[in-house]
Amino acid sequence: MEDLEQLDELLTCRLELGRKAVEPCTIVIFGASGDLTARKLIPAFYHLYREKQLPSPFRIIGFARREKTVEGWRQELRAALDQFSRTKPVDDAVWAEFAANVSYCQGDITDAGSYKKLANQLAAFDNERLRRNLLFYLATSPSQFGQVVEHLHHTGLLQKEDGAAREQRLVVEKPFGHDLSTAQQLNAELTRFAREQQIFRIDHYLGKETVQNILMFRFSNSIFEQLWNRQSVDHVQITVSEKLGVGSRGGYYEEAGALRDMVQNHLLQVLALVAMEPPVSLEAESIRDEKVKLLKSIRPMQPGQIAANVVRGQYTAGEIDGQPRPAYRHEPKVKPDSTVETYVAMRLLIDNWRWSNIPFYLRTGKNLPLSASEVRVQFRRTPHVLFALQCGSRLDANAITLRLQPNEGISLRFNGKVPGNSVEIRPVRMHFSYDSEFGAYTPEAYERLLLEAVSGDATLFIRRDEVETAWSIVDPIREVWGDRPLSGKEFYPAGTWGPVAADELLAQRGHAWRHPQPVT
Ligand code: BG6
pLDDT number for residue 2: 66
| Nearest Cα residue to atom 9 of ligand 1 | 262
Separation between Cα atoms, residue 366 and residue 244, nearest integer Å: 6
* Ligand 1 geometric centre to CA of 91 (Å): 28
Ligand 1, atom nearest to 253 Cα? 8
- Do 236 and 274 contact (CB within 8 A), yes or no? yes
Residue type, 45: F
What confidence category does residue 84 fall into, taking pLDDT thresholds of 50, 70 and 90?
Answer: very high
- Would the pLDDT of 503 be above 60? yes
pLDDT in tens, 100-136: 999 999 999 999 999 999 999 999 999 999 999 999 9
Pocket test for ligand 1, best of 36, 259, 265, 266 (most atoms within 8 A of CB): 266
* Alpha-carbon torsion angle 46, 47, 53, 55, nearest 10: -10
* Ligand 1 geometric centre to CA of 406 (Å): 13
What confidence category does residue 20 fall into, taking pLDDT thresholds of 50, 70 and 90?
Answer: low
The total of other beta-carbon atoms located within 10 Å of residue 492's CB is 23
* Ligand 1 geometric centre to CA of 94 (Å): 29
Separation between Cα atoms, residue 40 and residue 31, nearest integer Å: 13
pLDDT number for residue 166: 66
| Nearest Cα residue to atom 8 of ligand 1 | 261
pLDDT number for residue 430: 96
Q: Which residue is catalytic, options 153, 178, 266, 431?
A: 266
What confidence category does residue 165 fall into, taking pLDDT thresholds of 50, 70 and 90?
Answer: low
Contacts 24+ apart (CB under 8 A), 299-303: 299/348, 299/349, 299/350, 299/351, 300/472, 300/473, 300/476, 301/476, 301/477, 302/476, 303/476, 303/479, 303/480
What confidence category does residue 247 fall into, taking pLDDT thresholds of 50, 70 and 90?
Answer: very high
Pocket test for ligand 1, best of 205, 254, 262 (most atoms within 8 A of CB): 262
Q: Is 253 exposed, middle or buried (0-12, 13-18, 19+ CB in 10 A)?
A: buried
Mean pLDDT of 442-458: 90
Query: CA of 507: how far to CAs of 2, 230, 299, 330, 512, in Å?
Result: 51, 20, 21, 32, 6
- Do 217 and 402 contact (CB within 8 A), yes or no? yes
Ligand 1, atom nearest to 445 Cα? 14
Q: Is 374 in the pocket of ligand 1 (CB under 6 A)?
A: no
Ligand 1, atom nearest to 256 Cα? 6
Ligand 1, atom nearest to 265 Cα? 3
pLDDT number for residue 444: 85
Instruction: Give the closest residue to 506 by CA, choosing from 300, 315, 236, 242.
Output: 236
pLDDT: which is higher, 17 or 395: 395
Q: Is 420 exposed, middle or buried (0-12, 13-18, 19+ CB in 10 A)?
A: exposed
Minimum mean pLDDT among 67-76, 385-394, 487-496, 510-519: which range? Answer: 385-394
Whether 266 is catalytic: yes
pLDDT in tens, 168-220: 999 999 889 999 999 999 999 999 999 999 999 999 999 999 999 999 999 99
pLDDT number for residue 379: 97
Instruction: Give the closest residue to 457 by CA, choosing from 198, 93, 87, 158.
Output: 198
- Would the pLDDT of 64 be above 80? yes
pLDDT number for residue 393: 76
* Ligand 1 geometric centre to CA of 203 (Å): 10
pLDDT in tens, 36-48: 999 999 999 999 9
What confidence category does residue 164 fall into, taking pLDDT thresholds of 50, 70 and 90?
Answer: low
* Ligand 1 geometric centre to CA of 26 (Å): 28
- Do 38 and 84 contact (CB within 8 A), yes or no? yes
pLDDT number for residue 12: 80
Separation between Cα atoms, residue 167 and residue 23, nearest integer Å: 10
pLDDT: which is higher, 443 or 448: 448
| Nearest Cα residue to atom 5 of ligand 1 | 261
pLDDT in tens, 289-346: 999 999 999 999 999 999 999 999 999 999 999 999 999 999 999 999 999 999 999 9
* Ligand 1 geometric centre to CA of 205 (Å): 9
Residue 322's region, left for phi above 0, alpha for psi from -120 to 50, else beta, is: left
Helix (H) / strand (E) element for 274: namely helix 268-275
Instruction: Report the mean per-residue pLDDT for the chain.
Output: 93
Pocket test for ligand 1, best of 252, 255, 259, 261 (most atoms within 8 A of CB): 261
Pocket test for ligand 1, best of 35, 205, 242 (most atoms within 8 A of CB): 242
The total of other beta-carbon atoms located within 10 Å of residue 69's CB is 10
- Do 401 and 376 contact (CB within 8 A), yes or no? yes
Percentage of the chain exceeding pLDDT 70:
97
Residues listed for the chain: 520
Q: Is 203 in the pocket of ligand 1 (CB under 6 A)?
A: no
pLDDT in tens, 259-282: 999 999 999 999 999 999 999 999
Q: 464-481 and 268-275 helices cross at what angle (nearest 10)?
A: 120
Q: Is 242 in the pocket of ligand 1 (CB under 6 A)?
A: yes
* Ligand 1 geometric centre to CA of 114 (Å): 33
* Ligand 1 geometric centre to CA of 264 (Å): 12
Q: Is 261 in the pocket of ligand 1 (CB under 6 A)?
A: yes
Helix and strand numbers (H, E) in the chain are: 20, 17
- Would the pLDDT of 150 be above 60? yes
What confidence category does residue 441 fall into, taking pLDDT thresholds of 50, 70 and 90?
Answer: low
Mean pLDDT of 132-161: 94
- Do 235 and 512 contact (CB within 8 A), yes or no? no
Supply the DSSP symbol for 405.
E
pLDDT number for residue 520: 63
| Nearest Cα residue to atom 13 of ligand 1 | 205
The total of other beta-carbon atoms located within 10 Å of residue 315's CB is 28
The total of other beta-carbon atoms located within 10 Å of residue 424's CB is 10
pLDDT number for residue 3: 76
- Would the pLDDT of 374 be above 60? yes
Q: Which residues contact 353 (CB under 8 A, 6 or more apart)?
A: none
Ligand 1, atom nearest to 242 Cα? 10
